Amino acid sequence: DFLGPWKNQYYFVVMDAHSKWIECYPTATPSTEVVIEKLVDCFARFGLPRALTSDGATCFTSKQFSDYLSELGINHHVGAPYHPQSNGAAESAVRIVKSCFKKHPSVSGAPLMRILNNFLFLYRASEHPTTKNSPSKLLLGRNVRTVFSQMTPDIEDIVTTNQIKQQENYRGKRNIVFKLGDNVLARDYRDNQQKWAKGKITEISGPQTYVVETAEGLGWKRHVNQLLPHNVQQPGNKGFADNWESQTPPTFKGDSPVRLKDRETPETQITSSSPDFRGWGSPILSPISRPTTVRRTERLRRAPLRFSHSQYQ
């Protein structure tokens, strides 16, 4: 539909019936050539519609306009004469644009097209009362970014920022590969007294999974993150258990080794049956006897006198 003349100018208004998106083009005259030119621009942006509804104006009922729509495969519906309700969507769009012009303060001095574009920008980003969605959400598939949207955090931006931080802080996986026969320290989950157990790689069951034989003859399946390399080589003629007695505990980069004496409690004392105990083997805990403190009362106790005369009578 056409709006105007408004200040010696006409405005060609187009509304999408599905999304309520409004397009407004300023024109000098409401002619068929102008309508076709503006529709070419509109169709280039959003594609061809299935149907187009207009009133019975000459620019919409001419043979040139009918031939143009027929070539594009667009059905043309013309409303009844003197019945604007037949083209209610376009009439509503004209009324919305006209209200923008009426409420525009003439003292601002801004160009009329700038005011119209700002109004259309806010209209397309606002929720429509009929669809409960903004026209940009229904037509473009997303809400356009506005000044007001910067006041609230965007979930997508937060997720993207956190993912970038994770990539920057990622130091990579442990590039450690064990071979058969390597001496390692395996994570021990049997109790809380000893976190690491001495062992040897006996099987490679996966890219990062190994089977470890401990000094006690147990077979444990451990991930590479549950193993620590041990660089001490075995002597030639010594057994497996004797070899581990001569090895030293591993050193950790960045952290100092945890000694068992730092975890002593007042109730226990750590002793070792081996003369070269280094504080990282299996300790033997022996309780320390302490005198028991009596906390009960020391008053004189006597049996109650029942069924007798009271001394206060």
Within a domain: residue 249?
yes
Over residues 103-125, mean pLDDT:
78
Indicate the residue among 131, 150, 169 that finishes a domain.
Answer: 150
What integer best gives the mean pLDDT of the chain?
77
Q: CA–CA separation, 291 vs 54, rounded Å? A: 104
Q: CA–CA separation, 52 vs 91, rounded Å? A: 14
Within a domain: residue 297?
no
| Residue 193 and residue 112 share a domain | no
| Residue 128 and residue 11 share a domain | yes
Question: Among the ranges 81-90, 171-180, 258-267, which has the highest mean pLDDT value?
Answer: 171-180
- Position 14: which residue type? V
Over residues 202-228, mean pLDDT:
91
| Residue 208 and residue 141 share a domain | no
| Residue 100 and residue 33 share a domain | yes
| Residue 128 and residue 47 share a domain | yes
The CATH number assigned to the domain holding 197 equals 2.30.30.140
The CATH number assigned to the domain holding 29 equals 3.30.420.10
pTM score, two decimals? 0.47
CA angle at 183 for the pair 180 and 189, rounded to the nearest 5°: 105
| Residue 141 and residue 214 share a domain | no
- pLDDT tens figures, 141-176: 888 888 888 887 778 888 988 988 888 877 666 678
Q: Which domain range does residue 242 map to?
A: 183-258
Domain total of the chain: 2
Over residues 30-45, mean pLDDT:
91
Over residues 213-227, mean pLDDT:
90
